[in-house]
Amino acid sequence: MKPIQVGLLGIGTVGSGTYNVLLRNEEEIRRRAGRSIRISMVADLDVARAKSVVGSDVEVVADARQVIANPEIDIVVELIGGYGIAKALVMEAIAAGKHVVTANKALLAVHGTEIFAAAQAKGVVVAFEAAVAGGIPIIKALREGLSANRIQWLAGIINGTTNFILSEMRDKGLDFDVVLKEAQRLGYAEADPTFDIEGIDAGHKVTLMSAIAFGIPVQFDRAHVEGITKLAAADITYAEQLGYRIKLLGITKRRDTGIELRVHPTLVPAKRLLANVEGAMNAVVVHGDAVGTTLYYGKGAGSEPTASAVVADLVDITRLHTADPDHRVPHLAFQPGQLAATPVLPIEDVVTSFYLRLQVADQAGVLAKITGILADRNISIDALLQRESAEGESKTDVIILTHDTREGDMNQAITAMQALPTVLAPIVRIRKEELS
Ligand SMILES: NC(=O)c1ccc[n+]([C@@H]2O[C@H](COP(=O)([O-])OP(=O)(O)OC[C@H]3O[C@@H](n4cnc5c(N)ncnc54)[C@H](O)[C@@H]3O)[C@@H](O)[C@H]2O)c1
Ligand SMILES: N[C@@H](CCO)C(=O)O
Ligand code: NA
């Protein structure tokens, strides 16, 4: 049988990995897919660099539209990134009747509804395993492996750059900027690293997982997103003393009133496997009613780990190439007409426990006032730690762990505590999850 012809748009970190993996494992992949999968055309603005990757066997052009216009191309792989030209090219490829594989979580988390509808109407597939947790087959697991379950919640370390930064800062006492540069050098970071450190990239990924887990539309604009830039070394240390690690988690949960969808630094019990995921590694914990808790771990970024997912999607599409479109796995796991209108809850209605750090004057009665404010709002204290502040003897750090509370109630309590004259600095609040 004639090989499946693939056109690659963008041959940077992930594109070159995809080319290399397909070439190296050509025979193994052919035995799995039932036919050869061949990259026959590449578009990249940097033609010379692209040629240095693929040699003279593959046609290289600067204009991606030439690839889409080529009737020989069966599958277009978009590895340019961003919302701009990448969106136009994906929509044009769909309109031209090509299947699409993309690693572009930003694009799908924001414009997924439009893109999947266009693909559905045209009878083509938009595959995106590489977009979430890179090489970990989490899309496959959620969409197919766990399809018996009513999924209750999932939580994951889904940004390698920030996990690498948090790990290196904790282990080696390195500065934020130094570690970020290293993550960029290793090819983990986004073109704009604020997407990594401000939690946006993790927000894109958890938005996609939430849609697939609960059968709701992709709606990144409803996600609550916080990054790691405001995290202080003192909180990492205090958390450790209380038996916790701080991780940037993407979390989505089913509640009676709606869906929680959020990314923020989170205290996780040190004994949990998730707390021990270090460096650029990713891990996702999924809790389903039938299966219980499951864990998926591996490389979520980098050239070949991400290519592993791109090529797996190419194999999937090759196998299903001639199948009736109605018999394919739906893009968002649930049939397109079956997506639920369950609302994403505002952050004020999210329920978690909290870590609070207050710098207070070392005076009689201060603690009583603070605990009184919490008690007034029915916020129950789980643990309390008092330490001499690094800023001198007249100041004390008070660290409080609470039981579960509504975020709106916690906001009110923090405002009231902050107004006390004996509270000397902005109160630090970090959410805490037991993940059991
Ligand atoms: N790097 C990773 O580890 C990783 C992991 C998962 C997902 N992703 C996603 O994969 C995509 C690609 O990431 P990357 O790290 O390979 O990026 P990259 O910057 O290394 O590569 C992008 C390539 O696209 C080319 N390009 C830019 N504009 C173009 C245009 N108009 N036409 C043709 N080519 C163009 C660039 O010259 C470059 O070679 C992004 O969506 C990213 O979010 C990356
Ligand atoms: N910038 C992302 C790449 C993988 O999507 C990360 O650090 O995880
Ligand atoms: Na994946």
pLDDT of 200-258, one tens digit each? 999 999 999 999 999 999 999 999 999 999 998 889 989 999 999 999 999 999 999 99
Active-site residue, selected from the candidate residues 2, 140, 181, 205: 205
Spacing, Cα 219 to ligand 1 middle (Å): 23
For residues 76-80, give the mean pLDDT: 98
Residue 14 assigned ligand-binding role: yes
Alpha-carbon span 68 to 41, nearest angstrom:
10
Alpha-carbon span 17 to 310, nearest angstrom:
9
Spacing, Cα 6 to ligand 3 middle (Å): 20
Q: Is the pLDDT of residue 164 over 90?
A: yes
Residue 266 assigned ligand-binding role: no
230 is known as an active-site residue: no
CA-nearest residue, atom 4 of ligand 2: 301
CATH superfamily, region 4-136+304-338? NAD(P)-binding Rossmann-like Domain (3.40.50.720)
Per-residue confidence band for 322, with pLDDT thresholds at 50, 70 and 90: confident
Q: Is the pLDDT of residue 293 over 80?
A: yes
For residues 21-49, give the mean pLDDT: 97
Atom of ligand 2 nearest to the CA of 189: 1
Q: Is the pLDDT of residue 66 over 90?
A: yes
Class level of CATH domain 351-432: alpha beta
Share of the chain above pLDDT 90, in %: 89
407 lines ligand 2 (CB under 6 A): no
Class level of CATH domain 138-299: alpha beta
134 lines ligand 2 (CB under 6 A): yes
Spacing, Cα 63 to ligand 3 middle (Å): 28
CA 318: distance to chain centroid?
Answer: 27
Alpha-carbon span 168 to 372, nearest angstrom:
39
Residue 407 assigned ligand-binding role: no
Domain boundaries, the chain: 4-136+304-338, 138-299, 351-432
Residue 92 has a CB neighbour count (10 Å cut-off) of: 15
Spacing, Cα 134 to ligand 3 middle (Å): 4
Alpha-carbon span 202 to 215, nearest angstrom:
19
Min mean pLDDT across 117-121, 216-220, 389-393, 403-407 is at 389-393
The secondary structure of 2-65 as a DSSP string is PPEEEEEE--SHHHHHHHHHHHHTHHHHHHHHSS-EEEEEEE-S-HHHHHHHHTTSSEEES-HH
Residue 388 assigned ligand-binding role: no
CA-nearest residue, atom 5 of ligand 2: 301
